[in-house]
Every structure is written in structure tokens, then in C-alpha cells.
Amino acid sequence: MPNSVRPAAVAGQFYPGVADALRQQLNALLAQEQSQPATPPTALIVPHAGYRYSGATAALAYQQLAGFAQQWQQILLLGPAHRVAFKGIASSTHHDWQTPLGNYPVDRQAVDYLQQQGLVRPFDLAHQEEHSLEVQIPFLQQLLPQGRLIPLLVGTAATAEISAVIEALWTPTAALLVVVSTDLSHFLNADSATERDSATATAITQRHPEALHQGDACGIRPLAALLTFARERQWRVEQLELCNSSRSSGDYQRVVGYGSFALYPGHP
């Protein structure tokens, strides 16, 4: 089949392009000290920059999956499109996504169902060079090797449209993990970024998507949809990390903000 595998587009740029080096970096990132939750999360919010910059922040969220590998069979991965502008939500025709660690299977039944319901549409071009979803795949391969991926890029779409996708797949007994891929503020100085990202983090942990504004996060649309969905079900949101690229780059004048959060079932 011509579109059976979506080849890695940013291996060797955003993360190591050789399997051994990638495994070594993943193991180091996931070895950070972090308390383990008593119950598995229902969703994660993670950054998507190069591993040099945001890998440690993302790993703190993915660590919450350790010990619960059999909990999830499906991973709904939602992220913003950086390279191709389009309306709606883009699925892909691929059956596997490739990284240096091998191929990670797509849940074609779930993707086809969403397409049949008119909630998403296949648009491979949007996925072709996009990094926001791809950089999450090695973490998922490492921690959830039995999982099946539902990779969706969000273009210009309303919160209700994105929430409808989550609604179509999620039930209280579903083996579904929702992952929203987003960075926070872009290209402010470090002090301004810290202030703005702190306000964004408060909106996230309090599940107030209406407090988010354009420029707070590049993945603001899927982020707002997840928070709306979480508020309706009274999921708890825990902040795990909040930082910016100055920690790795040494550049304090133009930074990108990163945060990681885990969502759990239950009351606030």
C-alpha cells in the first residue's frame, strides 16, 4: 500500500536518528526522579520541541505511565499543525508511524470511524513534515509498546469540534489515553515568558480554557478542548513541570515555554 508507513520526518533533528542513541536518551530522560501516581492518568499535556530543549519536561509526564503499561490500548494524539494551514482536523492514511525504534501501529478502525462520522478528514500533506506528533512517538514506543495510535493534527477548528473527537472515543471504561502536544509562549524574554506561562499553567490546572489566549500556547485549540472535556467530567489536573528553553539554550531574550501536566479522574 503506497501510504502504509508514515516515515520519520524529524529524526536526527528533534531527537536522535539512530535507534541505540535514541533509546539511550529516552532511558536517561525517563530516569529522572519523580513520584509515581496511585492511579493512571487519563490524559497528558506535553511539549514538542527538540529533546534537548523539552525532552526532560515531556518525560516527567510520560513517567506517569510507568507501571500502567497494560492500561491503554489506544493513544489519541492531538497536536497543532505548524507547516500546513487547513480547516478542521487532519487524520492520515498511514497504517504505521516510523521512528528509529521501528514502526508504531495506527488504530485504523478508530481513525476510519472518526472519518466516517465526519469528525476528521484524511490529509497526509499536513502530517508529512510535521513534528508536533512525531516527537511523542518514541516515548510511546518505549512505554506503551502494545498501544495503537490515533494521530490527529488540528488546524482551524472550534473547541466543540475537537471535543467531539474525544467524546466519540472516550468512555469511562475505554482503554484510551489522550495526549495533547503543545508548547507554551514563544519568543518572549525569559522573565515575560515565566509570567505568561505561569498564568497559562494556572488556567490549565484550574480547567479554565476560557482564560487561554492566542499566543499562550501553539496547541491552544486541542488544549482548550481537552480542558473543556476534563471540566465536564471533573478530572483533576496536576502540573508536573514548567520551564522555558533558556534552561538549555542559555538565550534569555527569545525563549519558548514548556509545561507538562497529567490529568486524573476524580474531583478537583
pLDDT tens digits, residue range 18-33? 999 999 999 999 998 8
Residue 239 burial class via C-beta count within 10 angstroms: exposed 0-12, middle 13-18, buried 19 and up? middle
Mean of all residue pLDDT scores within the chain: 95
120 CB neighbour count, 10 Å cutoff: 26
| Number of domains making up the chain | 1
* CA dist 15 → 10, 66, 236, 249 (Å): 7, 21, 31, 16
Per the structure block, which three cell numbers stand in for 156?
A: 482551524
- φ/ψ of 101, rounded to 5, equals -85, -5
pLDDT at 266 > cutoff 90: no
**What digits encode the pLDDT tens for the residues 108-166?**
999 999 999 999 999 999 999 999 999 999 999 999 999 999 999 999 999 999 999 99
* 185/255 Cα distance (integer angstroms): 8
What global pTM score does this model have? 0.96
Three-state DSSP class for residue 139: helix
Cell numbers 535514541 correspond to 22
d(CA 101, CA 139): 10
The 10s digit of each residue's pLDDT in 80-99 is 999 999 999 999 999 999 99
The pLDDT of residue 70 is 85
Grid cell 514563544 is found at 186
Q: Residue 211 belongs to what domain range?
A: 5-264
Q: Does residue 206 surpass a pLDDT of 80?
A: yes
Question: Are 244 and 255 spatial neighbours (Cβ–Cβ below 8 Å)?
Answer: yes
DSSP label at residue 20: H
**CATH number of the domain that residue 179 is part of:** 3.40.830.10
- Cell output for 117: 462520522
State how far the Cα of 229 lies from the Cα of 162, in Å rounded to an integer: 10
Any idea of the CA torsion for 18, 22, 24, 29, to the nearest 10 degrees? Answer: 160
Judge contact between 108 and 151, C-beta under 8 A.
no
Over pLDDT 90: what percentage of the chain?
A: 89
Give the pLDDT band of residue 1 (cuts 50, 70, 90).
very low
Give SS3 for 253.
Answer: coil
